[in-house]
A = this chain, B = another copy of it.
Amino acid sequence: MQPHGIMRPGHVQLRVLDLDEAVHHYRDIVGLEETARDKRGRVYFKAWDEFDHHSVVLREAEEAGMDHVAFKVEDDACLDRIERSVKEFGLQVDHVAASEQLHTGRRVGFVCPTGHRIEFFAEKAQVGNGLPTQNPDVWPDGLRGMAPVRLDHVLLYGDEIERNLELFTKVLGFRLTEQLLAKDGKTHLATFLSISNKPHDIAFIHCPQKARLHHVSFYLDSWHEIGRAADIISKKNVSLDMGPTRHGLTRGATIYFFDPSGNRNEVFSGLYLSYPDRPMITWTEDEIGKAIFYYERRLNDRFMSVTT
C-alpha cells in the first residue's frame, strides 16, 4: 500500500445546543483560542501550539454530537489517492468545496462503517502558535484555562467495528496499536489506531448504534497539568465525568468532563512512542476495567453509555 500522507486529526466539527455557552466552555475553560466566526454562525478554535487556523469548529444545532472529524494530509495528491482507495473498498466518497470551512481547502469525505463522517484535507491557512518562528520563547503570553497544546484524538462509538478496522488499517494505513477483545478472543470491543508516533489518533468502541461521539481529547504536557485542569473543572462548576485517573490503554493520564451540551471532553497527557514495530497490545474483556481506568479497575455506567 502506498502511503496516503495522512498526518493528524486536523479538526473536529461539533454540534452544540447553545453556542454562547459552548464558546465560553471551549475558550475560557478548556482555553482554546477563538480564531474566527463564519456567516453560518460557526465558531472556530485552535489550541495554542497548533499552527493551522482551527482544530475545533462549533455549530449550533438541536442535537449535540460530532459532524465530522477531518485529517490533514501532506498534499493535494494524497486526497486523490485516498478517494481511489476508499472507493475501491466500496464506500461512497464525496467532496466538500474549498472554503466551506474558513481558510480550509477542499475536503474529501465519506461515512465509515461505524457511521461517522471522516474527511481529509490538504490545505488550511496557518495562523501560528503565538510565537515567532525566529528565536521563539517556549510558550506565549495570555494562555487561559487548561490551555492544551493540541487537539489529540477522538474516540467514537459505533456498530460495524470490524469492517471499520479493515478500512482504517488496510485502506488508510493506520496501525492498530491497542485492541480490546471480547471473551471470544477475536471480536473487537475497542480499536486504537495511529497514523503517527502517537499511541492513537482515533479510536473506536463497539456499540449497537451508529455515529456516536464518546469524546474529543486535547493534550496537556504533564500529570501536574491534569491536576490543574481538575481544579479548574471544580472551580468553574464544569460537569466532571471521570478522573483524574490513568488509562491502562495508552498509559495516558486523563480527566473527562462534559461541555454544556453534553459532548464529552478529555484532557490527557503522557504517551509512549508508537512505531510500526512496536508490539500491539491486547486487552481482554475480563480486564476491561483496568484497560479503561487503570486505577479504579472498573467502569462506570456513564462512561460506557453516555455519548452524543
Question: Roughly how many angstroms separate A246 CA and B255 CA in the complex, as a whole number?
Answer: 13
How far does the Cβ of A267 sit from chain B's closest Cβ, in whole Å?
13
A277 within 8 A of B: yes
The total of chain A residues at the interface (CB under 8 A) is 61
Q: Complex Cα distance A300/B208, Å?
A: 31
A197 partner, pick from B137, B197, B245, B284, beta carbons under 8 A: B197
Contacts of A57 in B (CB 8 A): none
Q: Contacts of A169 on B, CB cut-off 8 Å?
A: none
A282 at the binding interface (Cβ < 8 Å): yes
List chain B residues, Cβ under 8 A from A61: none
Measured CA separation A296–B275 after assembly (Å): 35
Interface residues of A in 65-83 (CB under 8 A from B): 72, 74
Given contacts A224-B224, A272-B49, A296-B240, contact A246 B3 (CB under 8 A): no
Chain B residue with the shortest CB-CB distance to A123:
B277
Determine whether the beta carbon of B134 is less than 8 Å from that of A282.
Answer: yes
Q: Which residues of B sit under 8 angstroms from A137, Cβ to Cβ?
A: 231, 234-235, 248
A211-252 CB mask vs B (1 if < 8 Å, else 0) is 000000000011110010011011100001001111010010
Residues A196 and B273 in contact, CB atoms below 8 Å apart: yes
1/0 contact string of A117-138 vs chain B (CB within 8 Å): 0000000001010000111111
B51 near A277 with CB under 8 A, answer: yes
User: In the complex, what residue of chain B is closest to A250 when comparing beta carbons?
Assistant: B138
Query: Could you tell me the distance between the alpha carbons of A49 and B149 in the complex, rounded to whole angstroms?
Result: 25
- Tell me how many chains of this kind the complex includes: 4
A273-B150 contact given A223-B222, A287-B135, CB 8 Å threshold: yes
A199: min CB distance to chain B, Å: 12
How far does the alpha carbon of A197 sit from the alpha carbon of B195 in the complex, in Å?
11
Q: Mark A86-129, 1 if CB is under 8 A from B, else 0.
A: 00000000000000000000000000000000000000001010
Does A276 count as interface, using CB distance less than 8 angstroms?
yes
Is A8's beta carbon under 8 Å from chain B? yes
Q: Give the CA-CA distance A149 to B150 in the complex, in Å.
A: 23
Chain B neighbourhood of A134, CB < 8 A: 281-284
Nearest CB of chain B from residue A210's CB, rounded to whole Å: 29
Listed from nearest, the 7 A-B pairs whose CB atoms lie closest are A197-B197, A224-B224, A135-B287, A133-B279, A230-B295, A137-B235, A223-B227
